[in-house]
Amino acid sequence: MESVLNSDFLFGHRYHPEALIGRGGMANVYVGTDTRLQRRVAIKALRPEVAVDSESRKRFQREAHSVSAMGHPNIVRVYDAGEQTIPDVSTEVPIPYIIMEFIDGKILRRLMDAGAFEPKVAVHVALGILDALDESHRSGIIHRDIKPGNVMITHSGLVKVCDFGIAQAVEDPTNDPSAIVGTAQYFSPEQAKGDIIDGRSDVYSTAVVLFEMVTGTPLFTGDTSVSIAFQHVTQTAPRARSRRPELSPEFDMVIAKGLEKDRNARYRTAGEFAAALRSVTNLVGSGRADRAAQPPETPPVPVSVVATGGPDPRQGSKFPVESGLSNNATTDGTVMDLNDLRPLLTSDTPPKGNVVRWGLLGAAGLLVVASVIVGMMYWVLTLNSGSNIGSLAVTMPDVTAETFETAESQLTDLGLTVVRRVQVSETVPEGTVISTSPEAGVNLAVGEIVTVVESSGKPVAAIPSIDFMTMANATAALEAAGFTVGTSTPGYSPTALVGEVIGSDPVAGTRVSGGSVVNIVVSNGKIEIPDVVGMSVGQATALLQGSTLQLDVTVVPDANCGGQTIGSQSITGEAPQHSKISIVYCAG
């Protein structure tokens, strides 16, 4: 397809490819120009040998549909999509393409290859990923391939998650349900086993990336992808502090919870994981918060959601976004100064902090020796008194059947550290404690960790995505997930074939109890054309040619009327997909 670079070929009659910047097994990615808006774009086009397969084209369309439904600064935006024959390639097979935001930045993988990040930099990147996932999961979309190669950082420090190409493929009935999709190094255990997955799989993969960023080493290694995947299923994840001792216990516990083998023991959502990271007061131990030594008056670096660093077109050319990092703040809620990131972004060499690491290790060693000596002296001096023996331990109370808040209060009042885990229960009400570890009656040291298992109530499930399925396959997918299929109603779609499913009610991703009724919306092969009379030419053409309508528009100037607006249009209301429409522009 490189022939498109040596001609005047335009995707969608407006997007000119200029250079190949990425090549994958399914698609090529070009940098190009939107000739109408004169802006840089990325053009992702399915490879011709893949485009001959109708299922591959549907999956490619699903990626465009999935990402275009989301508008978040941490997700690469989709501007347009379509299919088009390329004369120099084939006059018979249409090539699907997606027009995306061009990211002028660096791939996270390349930055991580230089070594461990400073904890605050790693948390900044992880929060960007989690905020993007929180948005996609709310839209019913599971990424399924979170890894450093699918994350970019712009020169302004903004984190961008890309490549939703295999998102939700697990719900595609044409796939082998036991097929493993993703990258073994960052697999969740359920992915490695071929189980049905949900958003908690993306949470695990993000925790794996965060672990590698702060330690500079992969979570698991092996000679083959199979051996690595097997470790994700069977091996207990090492603690981050075992490889980087200066990390604080609080930060280490947050990472460890994200790496739990049992998905029910992990964070329930990406938003919950992000909240846990933001709540960490010290990223490194010894009471030292991991923060840059910046003067208080130093202002935060403005961040634009536009990859080139320019103003955000959604806000208007005169109003660049200067929100600091509202979604990517430091753990104490303040905005992180991105000056700390600039050496990382320009040199490809993240700060390693080796001097700090060895200094902390040496200080920790001296502290341990001193603590042992003091402890032995105290024990000798108080050996015969017996008066303080009772204060050295507490008895674990029985907090089962209490609310989690009540149990947490009782345990923290005794000086114990509480770790919360959530578990589905058919019998224990939501928010009530099911069990504790250690159990009631055990003598514990002050400060010891107690795991409290809280009930999340009766099991619920997320409604799967059934977009672009046949009615029969959609019905089978919903019933397999434990739902009852209700009514089917027709709806409008610019691309779906007649009878193809285009949505559900409730929408995909909504968590409801098993057996709930789910209604289906199917394509009637038509679209509903709005009235654009009175709009400007730009507004009218953008609406009619946009992703929700995809009409073939002809603008006819009329000097007999004035106002510089649309005076009339050839059709309104219901019409076939890809209809031709004429709009009269009052140019008098």
Q: Indicate the SS3 state at residue 435.
A: strand
- Name which of 309, 289, 298, 284 is nearest 337 in CA terms: 298
Residue 285, pLDDT above cutoff 70: yes
Taking a C-beta distance cutoff of 8 angstroms, is the pair 294, 342 a contact? no
- Residue 502 or residue 91, greater confidence: 502
Which of 64-68, 210-214, 236-240, 361-365 is predicted least confidently?
361-365
Catalytic annotation on 145? Answer: yes
Two tokens, residue 377: 């002296």
Least confident of 113-117, 178-182, 217-221: 178-182
pLDDT score, position 355? 38
The pLDDT of 114-141, averaged and rounded, is 92
Confidence of residue 542 (pLDDT cuts 50, 70, 90): very high
pLDDT confidence band for 341 (50 / 70 / 90)? low
Instruction: Band the pLDDT of 445: cuts 50, 70, 90.
Output: low
61-71 pLDDT, tens digit each:
777 777 776 77
CA distance between the termini of the chain: 45
pLDDT at 75 over 60: yes
* Predicted pLDDT at 379: 39
In this structure, of 53-67, 99-113, 140-154, 169-183, the range with the lowest mean pLDDT score is 169-183
Which of 114-128, 325-339, 382-396 is most confident?
Answer: 114-128
CA 91, 93, 94, 98 torsion-angle sign: negative
Model confidence band, residue 79 (pLDDT cutoffs 50, 70, 90): confident
Averaged pLDDT, 429-433: 90
Distance between CA atoms of residues 49 and 206, nearest Å: 33
- The sheet with strand 39-46 has its strands ordered as 15-23, 27-34, 39-46, 90-101, 78-86
Spot the catalytic one: 145, 163, 198, 340: 145
Give the three-state DSSP class for 507. Answer: coil
Give the predicted TM-score (pTM) of the model: 0.51
Structure tokens at 105: 């930045």
Which pLDDT band, with edges at 50, 70 and 90, does 25 fall under? low
Cα separation values, 554 from 83, 414, 470, 526, Å? 20, 76, 34, 20
Between 89 and 243, where is the model more confident?
243
Backbone φ and ψ of 490, nearest 5°:
-75, 155
Cα radius of gyration rounded to whole Å, the chain? 28
Tokens of 152: 């970019």
Q: Could you give the CA distance from residue 553 to residue 347 in angstroms, rounded to a whole number?
A: 48
**Is residue 357 scored above 70 in pLDDT?**
no
